Amino acid sequence: MDRGGCQLSGRGNDAVDRHGMITLEDLESFSEDPLSDSGNGSLEEEGETMEAEDSSDRLLHYWQEVARGHQVEVSPDMAEPIQQLSSDNQGHSQREHVPFTLLMRKEKCGEQLYEKRHYEKGHWACITLHEDTYEQSICYGFMRIMKYICQQNSTGDYLGMTLPIVTIVRTDENHSVISQDVTVAYYLPIEHQAQPPQAYDNEIVIEVWPAATVYTRGFTGPTNEVTIINQISAMAELLDSPGVCANDSFIVAGYTNPAHSHRQNEIWFLERR
């Protein structure tokens, strides 16, 4: 399997957040001070090229350094998509979110318990992995999806990030064991929904997901087998009629990168059709 890589917690420099992790926002803002005007066009162009290469190498080396202690490989071919995500998103803080219609919000004593939403039919780029742990699967899956987003597609263009990146998890009927088969999925931006670009990675497939009604609840922190099982159990207890939802597959929606220790997530229950 051609593994991509993963940003994981560790010690870093000023290009990372206070917790020592590269976030997508860090990648977008990562840049050096502009070169001063030397008055020599050819020398300045050469300097800009060297500057870009140094920036790319530093980001790649940082990812490799951090990942080494987590049994996650960051291959050298991740350098280009890392740099692409950084340079193409300069100044674009707003991300396109998967569109939905809010149907209902349940609260108790001022606290939001969950939301009921309707998502329309849409195209998603999906990859299913079977790594040793859930965390490894979502990290490798995210990196391979990232390559697809960053020009490794039939258009050759940067497609743009959408949120959330979702993972489909499957459990036994008692919700006590999570299958090692994990699907990571990326919603195609609106401008690419009509004609989704194909991926160079033949394990990334474009799927049309039907319209769906979901019950969703937010939570923070890392996502692993234990936390997901706990979130599924907590959500099931909150629902008035949990039987209306699918009982063997759930979605974890991530709004920050898969390795951020304080990432923002949601658990989604899919209403039976």
Q: Which domains does the chain have, with CATH numbers?
A: 24-88 (no CATH), 96-270 (3.20.80.10)
Average pLDDT over residues 92-101: 80
How many Cα atoms occupy the beta-carbon half-sphere of 228 within 13 Å?
26
Task: Give the integer Cα–Cα distance in Å for 199 and 117.
Answer: 30
Rounded alpha-carbon distances, angstroms, from residue 203 to 1, 131, 260: 9, 14, 25
How many Cα atoms occupy the beta-carbon half-sphere of 6 within 13 Å?
23
Average pLDDT over residues 30-58: 46
Residue 97 in tokens: 């979110």
Three-state DSSP at 241 gives: coil
267 and 143 Cβ atoms separated by less than 8 Å: no
Residue 236 burial (CB count, 10 A): 17
Residue 61 burial (CB count, 10 A): 12
Q: Which of 90-94, 116-120, 144-148, 187-191 has the lowest mean pLDDT?
A: 90-94
Residue 138 pLDDT greater than 50, yes or no: yes
Question: pTM of the full predicted structure?
Answer: 0.75
Dump pLDDT digits (tens) for 187-210. Answer: 999 999 999 999 999 999 999 999
Q: What local confidence, expressed as pLDDT, does residue 45 receive?
A: 45
Residue 69 pLDDT greater than 70, yes or no: no
Residue 29 pLDDT greater than 50, yes or no: no
Task: Give the integer Cα–Cα distance in Å for 78 and 6.
Answer: 10
Give the confidence band of 221 by pLDDT, cuts at 50, 70, 90: confident
Dump pLDDT digits (tens) for 224-264. Answer: 889 999 999 999 999 988 789 998 899 999 988 655 657 89
